Every structure is written in C-alpha cells, then in structure tokens.
Amino acid sequence: MLSARQQHCLKGIGIRRWVERSSAPVGAEDILSPTVQEILPPGAITRAAPAKEATKPKPVSARTEICLDSWDDITRSIHQCEACDLASNCTQKVPGVGDRQADLMIIGEGPGHDEDIKGEPFVGRSGQLLDKMLQAIGLSRSQVFITNIVKCRPPNNRDPHRDEVQACNTFLRAQIKQIAPKVILSVGRVSAHSLLNSTGPVGKLIREIHQLPESDIPVKVTYHPAYLLRNPSAKSIAWQDMKTLHQILSR
C-alpha cells in the first residue's frame, strides 16, 4: 500500500495510482491502468523489430560422395540409388550377374519386364537367345558378367533418357574397373551409343572393333537379341560378330 507521500510524488511525475483490477470500481480500467508511455519518460521506448518469419532449412543440394571400391559398395549403392525417376518406378534394381572376374563383359540397354521382376538381366526370350549365342562360341552364362547401361527398367521398355544413363554411368564404370574384362560385348544401339559416345547406326558400328574411351578395352558391338527375334535374317550377321568376339577372347 502506497503512503500519501508516495502517491503525491507519483502524481507529480505524471504516474497515476495503480490498483488491482479486482478492487477497482466498474469503468475504472482506463483511469487506473497506466500505459507504458505514461510510466516511462519520453524517448525511453524503442519499437521491437518485427519477428522474422521462420525459415525452413534448405535441402542439401550437394551430391553425397559414394565409395565404389568393392563389389559390396557398388551393389549396395545401386540398390540405394534415387538419382533419377527410374528408381521410383521399377520393381527392383538390376545390378548385374555372372563371373566378377570374367574375360567377357556383356552390356545391354536396360532391364525389361522379366528382368524387373526377377532382378537379373537378360532372363526373358532375349536372354534365352543370348545364352544360345554364347553357347555357340563355347561359353556359358556363368562364365561372363552381364549388366545394362541403366540398372532400373524404363517405363514401357522405352529407351533410357540421357540423364538416366548419366545417373547410372558411375556404377557401370565402377563395374568395368572391378572386372577389367578382356573385351566388352555391347548389345544394342543404346548400349553402343552410350559406351562409345557415338550416334552411328548399329549396322555400321558392328563392322569394326572399337575401344572403350579412356581405356584399352576393346568393344565389339552387335545387335540386341530382341532385334534378332524380330528380324531373324540379321542372325547371320550376329553370328559373325560372335565369331569375331571368340577370336578376341582366344588371343
């Protein structure tokens, strides 16, 4: 409770007496509740800066570095990859299958319906024909390593887009490095164009032996088995390709 002297001093400096609202008469709020301006001397008030809007953390844009120094690293990274839209639309990833120390590495275009279901490349009708082509030169499926340019099935078996090929290129290069094959058999147009940085037709590319860019690994191009199933007359050309491949492997 303020003394009469304290009340007089407050009144002298412009501060009205404060009383509890519960004890104030009705309608006394405006008189008995001093504002901040009435209590503090002029110039003592500073406006608070407007509150800043809460900002959401920015997504990390830098691509996480991945280690691909072993087969376990490569396979795990392929299964975890979400670098392109194919990853969210496929049933499962298809890293590749076969002998990881093979002299012959076969690289196709991309998984199809059967491959997407089973998780293994070349298992449908095209795969059966490829197995027969290998048997014709004395090789079994278990003696070679088979993979594709992209590890996920493109929708409706369309050609993979450039960004999808680029997204998988790191994995393919790591696989080639691990295997260090004596020769690569490039199967189909998409495979040949991607490996050789070429735009030439397969019919022209199969006429000579190429070299994988930035390496000394020879690359033999041939028709895709799916093309051969649609165009049986081209099987004689593919047979010549396989004989040439056998010669390279026999050196």
Identify whether the C-beta of residue 152 lies closer than 8 Å to the C-beta of residue 94.
yes
In a domain, 63, yes or no: no
Whether this model's pTM surpasses 0.85: no
Residue ranges of the chain whose pLDDT lies below 70: 1-65
Q: What is the pLDDT of residue 2?
A: 56
Helix (H) or strand (E) holding 72: helix 71-80
- The residue type found at 244 is T
Q: Residue 214 belongs to what domain range?
A: 71-250
- The residue type found at 9 is C
In a domain, 246, yes or no: yes
**Alpha carbons 161 and 104: distance in angstroms, whole number:** 26
Q: How far is CA 214 from the centre of its chain?
A: 24
**Which residues are bridge partners to 97 per DSSP?**
146
- Return the DSSP state at 234: G
Q: What is the pLDDT of residue 67?
A: 85
How many other C-beta atoms can be found within 10 angstroms of the C-beta atom of residue 6?
Answer: 11
Q: How far is CA 146 from the centre of its chain?
A: 21
In a domain, 156, yes or no: yes
How many other C-beta atoms can be found within 10 angstroms of the C-beta atom of residue 170?
Answer: 16
Q: How many domains does the chain have?
A: 1
In a domain, 240, yes or no: yes
In a domain, 43, yes or no: no
In a domain, 216, yes or no: yes
In a domain, 150, yes or no: yes
Identify whether the C-beta of residue 173 lies closer than 8 Å to the C-beta of residue 210.
no
Q: What is the pLDDT of residue 1?
A: 56
The dihedral over CA atoms of 93, 98, 104, 106, expressed in degrees to the nearest 10, equals -30
Question: Which tokens sit at 223?
Answer: 């028709």
Identify whether the C-beta of residue 222 lies closer than 8 Å to the C-beta of residue 191.
no
Identify whether the C-beta of residue 108 lies closer than 8 Å to the C-beta of residue 147.
yes
130: helix, strand or coil:
helix
**Alpha carbons 1 and 19: distance in angstroms, whole number:** 9
Q: What is the pLDDT of residue 167?
A: 94
List the CATH number of the domain containing 172: 3.40.470.10
Q: What is the pLDDT of residue 47?
A: 45
In a domain, 175, yes or no: yes
